[in-house]
Structure 1
Amino acid sequence: MKFIRLRTVLEMTALSSTTLYRLIETGKFPQNVALGERCVAWVEEEVEDWLAQRIAERDGGGTN
């Protein structure tokens, strides 16, 4: 398992931080993991799965 920080998540998804946190708040993006008092990260595989789901939805294979 690999953790990735906010900057990498934003680069991978091409989202703004505002949009990212809005998606997290509504349950439409994987939750971050607290690594310390002021340090959070995401599980890389969960972000990659989220991206793959967006592609599947685009191609008509999504469930939403």
Structure 2
Amino acid sequence: MTRQFLRLPQVEGRTGLKKSTIYKLIALGQFPPPIKLSPRASAWPSDEVDDWQQRQLDTRNAVA
């Protein structure tokens, strides 16, 4: 899969989380932080968001 940069609305759509929750998880070290693309633009590498999603599934499956 090709790496893409995801802006916040795309990350919200992929994860089902809202902005406040995403940034709270970043502060707790539980979600990848965005990278700065320019002084006013940030984005997340798609592979890091995909990895986070896979860890969530792995955790769920380990508990089940």
**Structures share fold, TM-score greater than 0.5:** yes
Q: Distance in 2 between matches of 1:2 and 1:11?
A: 15
TM-score (norm 2): 0.90
Structure 1 residues without counterparts, runs of 5 or longer: none
2:6 is the alignment partner of 1:4 = yes
The runs of at least 4 aligned residues of structure 1 exceeding 4 Å deviation read: none
Find the partner of 2:34 among 32, 35, 43: 32
Aligned length: 61
Q: Distance in 2 between matches of 1:36 and 1:27?
A: 23
**Structure 1 residue 26: deviation in Å?**
1.0
**Structure 1 residue 2: deviation in Å?**
1.4
Q: Distance in 2 between matches of 1:28 and 1:60?
A: 18
Aligned to 1:42: 44
Q: Distance in 1 between matches of 2:4 and 2:21?
A: 23
**Over aligned residue pairs, what C-alpha RMSD do you find?**
1.1
Give the fraction of aligned pairs with identical amino acids, expressed as a percent. 36
Question: Which protein is richer in helix relative to its size?
Answer: 2
Structure 2 residues without counterparts, runs of 5 or longer: none
